[in-house]
Amino acid sequence: MKYSGYAYIYTIGCQMNVYDSEKLGLILNSYGFERTDDVHKADIVVCNTCSIRHKAEEKAFSFLGRFAKIKKKKPGLIVVMAGCVAQQEGERAFVRLPYLDIVLGTQAFSRFGQHIDAIKSGQRRVVDTRDAPMIYEALPETACMDENKISRFVTIMQGCENFCTYCVVPYVRGRERSRTPEKIVQEIRLLAESGVKEVTLLGQNVNSYGQKEGEISFPELLFRVNDINGIQRIRFATSHPKDLSVDLMVAIRDLDKVCNHLHLPVQSGSNHILRKMNRGYTRETYLDRIFNLKKHCPDIALSTDIIVGFPSETREDFNDTLDLLREIEFDSLYAFAYSDRSSAPAARFPHQVDETEKRDRLNHLLEIQERYTEQKNTGLVGKTLDVLVEGTSEKKREGFDPVQEHMEQMTGRSESNKVVHFPSDQANIGDMIKIRIKNAYPHSLWGYPLELETK
Ligand code: 5AD
Ligand code: SF4
């Protein structure tokens, strides 16, 4: 059916959810709904949820909780919980949110339209948490709708079956399934034709792409994407250390569009904890792979994820993690306090770590990492970086030369994924320009375009 009205989509969580929300938006468009940024104008509200940590889950309940009142005033409003929390909770979602109309699990997106029809024709509630073999091919094709967007996500696989003991993903996103290389290439070609310059290939375990299907491997996929005209940069996330093959190292080294940056979550530097987490590698094998990677790609930027306070993590285990950070000197990291997820086995592990102890460890770790991040950034002062221009930024940096006072402050990213600000009255979004770095800050760099410097 075709309706008319406005749709508001609120996305919580990872990059994959951003991609999924785009798909939900396209489905709503095809049913006649126009996107709005004003929640009060909406006729249908979708919260695309994340259940990776307790906080993300609570954010979904608190956002949707606001609609108890709103729905009383506007009974025709359709309220949808989509994604991981929907998949996990199913019928239970109504206990806290009795006025929800649709609970749309992670693999139910292709049936979203028919559920809207059901609600519109008087059905009280719909819950759909059924599995699907591959969700993306049944959904509308992503084309670049927003002309200013030069960087887009493309999900290339769904699900995960590594079963890390702290993680809900295998339970809420299902088993690992990869899209065909043809579909991926076709989607990226379309994006390139509409002006996209950078793509980030997404998956929970992106470097195990195609292993089950046996068609082509992840490095082979990178070769194919590298051949697409118009695309200038390729990123990918998230990689698992156990699948970091020499072929992938070679692809990063040899393919001109693949960025010299790898996000490789280590989670812990302690073998005892890594074993309990079921990560499938030891501290030594992780270090060995990084060593080998640096042999192939000496200047590669590295980032990682760390969990502190996993059940039974002692001070000694935590110190092993700090030592690992000192040994590798990551460019940046994401650190999280362990959060109990009832469907993941670690929730039933003994010796849970006290919440204040987790906070202390988290702060301590972040403090140590800050030094390395700053050091890495400072090391770039005086260097010239290729920056893909993403937009203008509001705040003019200290030291902004009065000669450039009339110019805009632009912002972009280096190949190593660092945010770079610079003055320019010529750069356009989507340009790749050379910036000489003058100043380093904890979370960004500041410099001048080469042409400006020589004037
Ligand atoms: N508690 C804390 N952090 C978690 N992550 C995944 N599950 C949990 C959990 N239960 C973190 C991991 C992962 C990142 C996406 O989220 O570090 O790499
Ligand atoms: Fe979760 Fe581990 Fe799979 Fe990552 S690899 S999604 S942490 S189970």
The CATH number of residue 245's host domain is: 3.80.30.20
* Closest-approaching ligand to the CA atom of 160: 2
Q: For residue 236, count other CB atoms closer than 10 A to its CB.
A: 26
Q: Which residue's C-alpha comes closest to atom 2 of ligand 1?
A: 338
pLDDT of residue 140: 80
Residue 160 Cβ < 6 Å to ligand 2: yes
Note whether 311 and 295 are same-domain residues.
Answer: yes
Whether residue 271 lies inside any domain: the answer is yes
Atom of ligand 2 nearest to the CA of 163: 8
Q: Name the residue of 15, 52, 204, 286 to mutate for ligand 2: max ligand atoms within 8 A of Cβ.
A: 204
> Final residue of a domain: which of 77, 93, 128?
128
Note whether 165 and 285 are same-domain residues.
Answer: yes
pLDDT of residue 375: 94
pLDDT of residue 426: 85
Whether the CA torsion 54, 59, 64, 67 is positive or negative: it is positive
pLDDT of residue 147: 56
- Domain CATH code at residue 70: 3.40.50.12160
Note whether 415 and 362 are same-domain residues.
Answer: no
Note whether 352 and 418 are same-domain residues.
Answer: no
Whether residue 139 lies inside any domain: the answer is no
- The conformational region for residue 15 under phi > 0 = left, psi -120 to 50 = alpha, else beta, is alpha
Note whether 320 and 231 are same-domain residues.
Answer: yes
Whether residue 141 lies inside any domain: the answer is no
Residue 110 Cβ < 6 Å to ligand 2: no
Span from the CA of 239 to the centroid of ligand 2 (angstroms)? 10
Span from the CA of 156 to the centroid of ligand 2 (angstroms)? 16
Note whether 279 and 253 are same-domain residues.
Answer: yes
* Closest-approaching ligand to the CA atom of 240: 2
Span from the CA of 210 to the centroid of ligand 1 (angstroms)? 24
Q: Which residues contact 142 (CB under 8 A, 6 or more apart)?
A: 19, 22, 23, 26, 152, 154, 187, 190, 191
Note whether 119 and 233 are same-domain residues.
Answer: no
* Closest-approaching ligand to the CA atom of 307: 1
Q: Name the residue of 12, 15, 53, 171 to mutate for ligand 1: max ligand atoms within 8 A of Cβ.
A: 53
Identify the H or E element spanning 400: none
pLDDT of residue 451: 77
C-alpha–C-alpha distance, residues 455 and 451, integer Å: 6
Whether residue 145 lies inside any domain: the answer is no
Whether residue 309 lies inside any domain: the answer is yes
- Domain CATH code at residue 393: 2.40.50.140
3-state secondary structure of 166: coil
C-alpha–C-alpha distance, residues 308 and 43, integer Å: 42
Whether residue 307 lies inside any domain: the answer is yes
Span from the CA of 427 to the centroid of ligand 1 (angstroms)? 38
Q: Which residue's C-alpha comes closest to atom 1 of ligand 2?
A: 167
Cβ-count burial of 402 within 10 angstroms (0-12 exposed, 13-18 middle, 19+ buried)?
A: exposed
What's the structural domain count of the chain?
3
Closest listed residue to residue 283, CA positions, set 298, 299, 297, 267: 267
Span from the CA of 86 to the centroid of ligand 1 (angstroms)? 19
The model carries a pTM of: 0.94
Note whether 190 and 204 are same-domain residues.
Answer: yes
pLDDT by residue for the chain (455 residues), tens digit each? 889 999 999 999 999 999 999 999 999 999 999 999 999 999 999 999 999 999 999 999 999 999 999 999 999 999 999 999 999 999 999 999 999 999 999 999 999 999 999 999 999 999 999 988 877 887 887 655 555 689 999 999 999 999 999 999 999 999 999 999 999 999 999 999 999 999 999 999 999 999 999 899 999 999 999 999 999 999 999 999 999 999 999 999 999 999 999 999 999 999 999 999 999 999 999 999 999 999 999 999 999 999 999 999 999 999 999 999 999 999 999 999 999 999 999 999 999 999 999 999 999 999 999 999 999 999 999 999 999 999 988 766 566 665 566 788 899 999 999 999 999 888 899 999 999 999 999 889 999 999 766 55
Q: Hey, which bits of 369-417 come out as E strands?
A: 384-392, 408-414
Q: Which residues contact 381 (CB under 8 A, 6 or more apart)?
A: 437, 438, 439, 440
Cα distances (angstroms) measured from residue 367 to each of 28, 224, 371, 372, 453 = 44, 41, 7, 9, 35
Residues with CB under 6 A from ligand 1: 52-53, 166-167, 265, 267, 305, 307, 336, 338-339, 341
Note whether 247 and 368 are same-domain residues.
Answer: yes
Which residues form the domain of 221? 151-378
> Final residue of a domain: which of 378, 404, 437?
378
Q: Name the residue of 164, 206, 242 to mutate for ligand 2: max ligand atoms within 8 A of Cβ.
A: 164
> Final residue of a domain: which of 341, 357, 378?
378
Note whether 370 and 396 are same-domain residues.
Answer: no
Note whether 167 and 236 are same-domain residues.
Answer: yes
**Distance from CA of residue 272 to its chain's centroid?**
28
Given a contact cutoff of 8 angstroms between Cβ atoms, the answer to whether 19 and 29 are in contact is no
pLDDT of residue 23: 93
Whether residue 140 lies inside any domain: the answer is no
Note whether 157 and 268 are same-domain residues.
Answer: yes
Q: At what angle do helices 15-30 and 112-120 cross, to 10 degrees?
A: 50
Q: Which residue's C-alpha comes closest to atom 14 of ligand 1?
A: 305
Given a contact cutoff of 8 angstroms between Cβ atoms, the answer to whether 147 and 191 are in contact is no
Whether residue 278 lies inside any domain: the answer is yes
Residue 264 Cβ < 6 Å to ligand 2: no
